[in-house]
Structure 1
């Protein structure tokens, strides 16, 4: 019994310093993590407020800078915790490199999204606030992140698209250029005076101050269709006015051609009856 008690005492004396040492390290690590996470959030929030005050800074880059500060502080915090347990920086780099290779093979899609996000932010085929179309996806860009891009469609639907799905598509940016060309057709009857109709449509465009005089608006006959002579109206306008002008022109075109005695025909067929002989 005395031998057993002595062995327990020796074991206690050997383990107690280790327990105290590791216990101190664990408590220190928890405190470092808490403080590091708090500092990361505070610095990230401060960076976001700072960049929000910079009017000349592109809105596309603002959330990226805030996230970059946050994750940098978190990475430093993790390294500090590992150093607390005696893990050397060189070992950390080696482990991260090996883990990065394994994770990279397992998460190829995720890494593609990150690479695509970097390309989108660097080359900037679109920015926050612009309306784009990429394949079947289209909407006003709300935020460009490292993994996904968020958009809102014209009817208010939220879209979160992986960056790689946008980068691998041809991107149409409807907002980038300051001006756009507006084209639409008006059909008149074959019995109507084409010159009168063209003059009326030209006058309609010239009377609208939103339509730019240079390049000058123009009309041309584009098709001799089954039931109508199609006249194309073409003009240049500010991108911001595109839809408003289009709707007003479509409404005004009907009245303009009717005021000069022309009609907008509906599709019709002539049916010829042939009497069978015998």
Structure 2
């Protein structure tokens, strides 16, 4: 009987020691979790404010990197909590690395779009409101996301392009530069006065306030075609005025040529008929 009592007493002492030991571990784990969540929030806000001081840093990237910093602190806190209970953190980190590799392979295309989205937001080949042409995609930028970019085509259609496609294609940005060149080429007849045509085009350009004085406009004969002499006027305008200015000047050139008797010939061919005696000799 006394042996049984001694065993029970020893068991209770061991249980009490384990309870005290694990109670401290649980208390430490709770403290670590609370401290980890608080630190994660502080790091997130500090990262967001710090990136906000960088001039031109995109809002999407600020939120993305601040969230990455937050979850990094939380992962470190959870690993520290597990270490409180004697769990081998090295094996946990190895398992997390293997899981991350598997997830990365499974989401290879998605991660490629994220990486491309980050590069687009950092290097800024285009911004919201600019008209671009990138491979098979063209339109006005509506929103740049981490996975895809939303565009509006010239005829008002919704276009959603993966960031990887935009990043891997040459991008032509029609809105980035402040000024833009335009050429208007009009074919006139071979019998028409070339100097009069050039003078007429130069007068139209000089009378339009949207045409910039520098670089100076110029007119020249660009090509001797099969049916016409191509007279070209080259000028520069501000980028927002480019499209409407070209439309207006093209119409004005047609009306001015008509008023001055300068013809704009249709494509034509000269056909020489060979008579029967000549054909036999040939």
State the TM-score bracket (shorter-chain normalisation).
0.7 to 0.9
Matched, 1:61 2:48: no
Alignment of 1:204-215 (within 5 A): 204-215=204-215
**CA displacement at 1:73 relative to structure 2:** 5.5
Q: Give the match's secondary structure for 2:257.
A: helix
Match of 1:215, SS state, is coil
1:176-231 Cα offsets, whole Å, 9 max, x none, are 10000001211111111000000000010111000000111111101111111001
TM-score, normalised to structure 1, is 0.72
Name the structure 1 match of 2:228. Answer: 228
Distance 1:274 1:132 in 2: 55
Query: Which residue of structure 1 lines up, in the alignment, with residue 126 of structure 2?
Result: 126
Mapped to 2, the partners of 1:225 and 1:114 lie a distance apart of 51
Contact 2:61 2:118 in 1 (8 A): no
Distance between the aligned counterparts of 1:82 and 1:62, measured in 2?
31
Matched, 1:245 2:245: yes
Match of 1:260 in 2: 260
Cα distance, 1:150 vs structure 2: 1.3
Larger Rg: 2
Give the paired residue count. 236
Distance 1:239 1:93, change over 3 A: farther
Unaligned runs of 5+ in 1: 1-31
Shift of 1:125: 1.2
- Aligned 1:118-197 pairs, distance under 5 A: 118-197=118-197
TM-score, L = length of structure 2: 0.71
Question: What are the superposed Cα offsets for residues 65-87 of structure 1, whole Å, 9 maximum, x if unpaired?
Answer: 34555676577778878988978
Does the 8 Å CA contact 1:117/1:163 hold for their aligned counterparts? Answer: yes
Q: How far apart are residue 151 of structure 1 and its match?
A: 1.0
Q: Distance in 2 between matches of 1:119 and 1:214?
A: 35
Conservation of the 8 A alpha-carbon contact between 1:219 and 1:232: yes
User: Does the aligned pair in 2 maintain the 1:227–1:268 contact within 8 Å?
Assistant: yes
Equivalent position SS for 1:176? coil
Map of 1:270 onto structure 2? 270
- CA pair 241-259 structure 1, distance change in 2 beyond 3 A: same
Please give the alpha-carbon distance, in whole angstroms, between the structure 2 residues aligned to 1:240 and 1:89: 60
CA offset digits 1:140-197 (Å, max 9, x no partner): 1112222111111111111111111111111111111000000121111111100000
CA distance in 1, matches of 2:94, 2:144: 32
**Structure 2: runs of 5 or more not aligned:** 1-32
**Cα displacement string for residues 111-141 of structure 1 (whole angstroms, at most 9, x for unaligned residues):** 2212211211121111121111111101111
Change (3 A) 1:81 1:159: farther
**Alpha carbons of 1:216 and 1:91: their partners in 2 closer, same or farther (altered >3 Å)?**
same
**Residue in 2 aligned with 1:115?**
115
Segment drifting more, 67-76 vs 125-134 = 67-76
Alignment root-mean-square deviation, CA: 3.3
Contact kept, 8 Å, 1:64 with 1:145, in 2: the verdict is no
Mapped partners of 2:79, 2:139: distance in 1: 45
